[in-house]
Structure 1
Amino acid sequence: MHAQGPTGIYGGRSAEARRSDRQLRLLAAAREIWGAEGWAAVTMRGVCGRAGLVDRYFYQSFPDRDALLGAVWDQERDALVAQVVDAFVGNADGDLVGALRTVIDAVVEHLRTDPACARIVLGDHTGSAVLEPRRREMLRTFADLLVDWAGPRLPQTTDPARLRMSTLLGVGGFAEIIAAWNAGELDVDASQITEHTAVVAALLVGSHRPR
């Protein structure tokens, strides 16, 4: 049996490594609960029980439940943003409408294979002072990415304000479709989501083409 020495090593692992492992277990447990039951079901006791940890370890990683919710949400947001950025990079020289379809398909596929991510970042966050602002900020982030990427591919006469309004309209509508789909309110498959939203995206892009 390994004893704990003055360096904090116990069982061959440092105190920092053990804290990091416990934090990851708490995040994973919270994600599982949230993905299955929604954010309101995530409690300190429930998360600790699922992670197999006593309560005091929770507060070594997070000051309160809101901090845990924010950390889980940020983790899922980062994964989704990475999907979008990778899709943009992979279509740097592609046709605008075709590239948008590829980006949409990548996001839909990510959310189809990971419905917990869809529920976490695009689900109903009503009543959470921590999550509601994050969702709004995420939609603005996606709108900014689209504007920065599509803007140079549109005519120089494109009105930036109109482009941003169109982009916010498209991003917000897409988020609501995914949320409804994930909640079982839309009886369609992933390919139908991609097809419909790509058509709408093409219409929005077309509205900024020269007549």
Structure 2
Amino acid sequence: MNLRAPARTWGGRTAEERRAERRARLIDAALEIWIENGWAAVTMRGVCVRTALNDRYFYEHFADRDDLLAAAWDDVCAEVFADLASVVAENVDRPALEILRAAVTRAVELQSDDQGRARILLADHAGSAVLEQRRKTMLSDATDLLIVTSRPYLRPDIDETEVRMSTLVGIGGFIELLTAWRTGTLDIDGERVIEHTSRLGALLGAQFLPPDVITGA
């Protein structure tokens, strides 16, 4: 029989739990600085000062600043995707285009919160190769998510490549529209973003969805 010694604890927490807590604190500090002043303001020294942790703990988790930025982005992106997936699950019994509208509405709400972490996903990432690559990956992952979500509703004879191209156009355009709205390039409110995107979604969906799926009849 192999007997394992119980994990040693400090203050009621194991070493692994304390490590995880320090990592979370560093990421939270990075996101706070990012939201306040942009990604370029995030530094190893800045997050250490904000968390009262020394650089030894920083390098315990991250190789450098890019590694921290990537981890912070990944955390937020995972949160947003999980949030949107929950919206889809909650509305699964509704017509396909109503599900789309619910997801669009939630995405707009996430960007409406001035203190919300989701804002970093649409910020200016020029100059950061790691964040620009993350943004490209986000577009691809969002496309995959929408295709998987819509597949049960699609006509059986659809061209898969056509679906992917149209989905890329739709999601890419939505991201650019959200960005223009958030930066003030377009002087509109969130409701108008929702209405416009939902109409475009209906136009794109008409190419691939049976009429009864579109109407929910």
Matches within 5 A, 1:8-157: 9-113=9-113, 116-157=116-157
Deviations 1:126-179 (A, max 9, x none): 222211121111111111111122233122222211111110001011111222
Contact 2:35/2:120 (CA < 8 Å) preserved in 1?
A: yes
Aligned pair in 2 of structure 1 residues 169, 10: CA closer, same or farther (>3 Å)?
same
2 CA distance for matches of 1:161 and 1:11?
56
5+ residue gaps, structure 2 = 1-6, 212-217
1 CA distance for matches of 2:34 and 2:177?
20
1 CA distance for matches of 2:153 and 2:60?
49
Aligned pair in 2 of structure 1 residues 64, 8: CA closer, same or farther (>3 Å)?
farther
Question: After the TM superposition, which of the residue ranges 41-50 and 108-117 deviates more from structure 2?
Answer: 108-117
Q: Aligned AA for 1:195?
A: E
Contact 2:44/2:58 (CA < 8 Å) preserved in 1?
A: yes
Give how far 1:209 is off: 4.9
Q: Normalised by the size of structure 1, how large is the TM-score?
A: 0.87
Question: After the TM superposition, which of the residue ranges 21-30 and 107-116 deviates more from structure 2?
Answer: 107-116
2 CA distance for matches of 1:14 and 1:155?
53
5+ residue gaps, structure 1 = 1-6
Aligned pair in 2 of structure 1 residues 89, 11: CA closer, same or farther (>3 Å)?
closer
Contact 2:154/2:210 (CA < 8 Å) preserved in 1?
A: no
Q: Aligned AA for 1:73?
A: W
Aligned pair in 2 of structure 1 residues 52, 206: CA closer, same or farther (>3 Å)?
same
Q: Normalised by the size of structure 2, how large is the TM-score?
A: 0.85
Alignment partner, residue 3 of structure 1: none
Aligned pair in 2 of structure 1 residues 60, 8: CA closer, same or farther (>3 Å)?
farther
Runs of 4+ in 1 over 6 A off after TM superposition: none
Question: After the TM superposition, which of the residue ranges 66-75 and 172-181 deviates more from structure 2?
Answer: 172-181
Give how far 1:198 is off: 0.8
Q: Aligned AA for 2:141?
A: T
